[in-house]
């Protein structure tokens, strides 16, 4: 096995480990910490997702689907800004629409990965990345 797949497997394992506990965190856990964890998982996964194939592509897309399903619920309280700009709560509809766009692209990437449609998978992973950049550019403090 070449070195690249081994590294990719480690990155996927690390990103899943970070995100794995998030859906079952207790209600008392800090909302900012939970979403930061999921965003880090997304960032780590996105770094190598476009090069993933086979089961690695499925796992990467599934990570995005799971994370983008959870994330909108972690932005309910405007008092928990963290690195989020107030604009996210002031323009909530546009903010949440970006999560919807990312989820749709992630689901399409997963469907493409499931049938080994590499071109469709990569196109949709690129759309996930573009949505992340658009959201961070508009709603995240540097």
Report the CATH number that the domain containing residue 23 is assigned in CATH. 1.20.120.10
pLDDT of residue 142: 80
Give which of 44, 16, 19 is closest to 34, Cα–Cα. 19
Give which of 12, 33, 11 is closest to 22, Cα–Cα. 33
Instruction: Give the 3-state secondary structure of residue 29.
Output: coil
Exposed, middle or buried by CB within 10 Å (0-12, 13-18, 19+), for 77? exposed
Residue 54 belongs to what domain range? 3-139
pLDDT of residue 29: 55
pLDDT of residue 48: 94
Q: For each of the chain's 142 residues, which pLDDT tens digit applies?
A: 343 444 444 444 444 444 444 444 444 358 999 999 999 999 999 999 999 999 999 999 999 999 999 999 999 999 999 999 999 999 999 999 999 999 999 999 999 999 999 999 999 999 999 999 999 999 999 8
**How many independent structural domains does the chain possess?**
1
- Please state, in angstroms and as integers, the Cα–Cα distance from residue 29 to each residue in 17, 33, 70, 95, following that order: 17, 8, 14, 23
Give Cβ neighbours of residue 35 (< 8 Å, ≥ 6 apart). 71, 74, 75, 82
């Amino acid at each position: 096995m070449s070195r690249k797949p081994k590294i990719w497997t480690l990155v996927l394992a690390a990103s899943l480990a970070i995100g794995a506990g998030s859906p079952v965190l207790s209600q008392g856990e800090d909302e900012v910490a939970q979403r930061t964890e999921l965003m880090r998982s997304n960032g780590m996964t996105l770094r190598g997702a476009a090069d993933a194939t086979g089961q690695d592509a499925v796992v990467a897309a599934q990570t995005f689907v799971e994370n983008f399903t959870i994330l909108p619920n972690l932005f309910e309280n405007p008092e928990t800004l963290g690195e989020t700009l107030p604009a996210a709560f002031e323009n909530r509809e546009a903010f949440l629409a970006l999560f919807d766009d990312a989820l749709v692209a992630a689901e399409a990437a997963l469907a493409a990965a499931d049938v080994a449609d590499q071109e469709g998978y990569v196109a949709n992973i690129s759309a996930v990345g573009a949505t992340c950049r658009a959201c961070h550019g508009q709603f995240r403090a540097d």
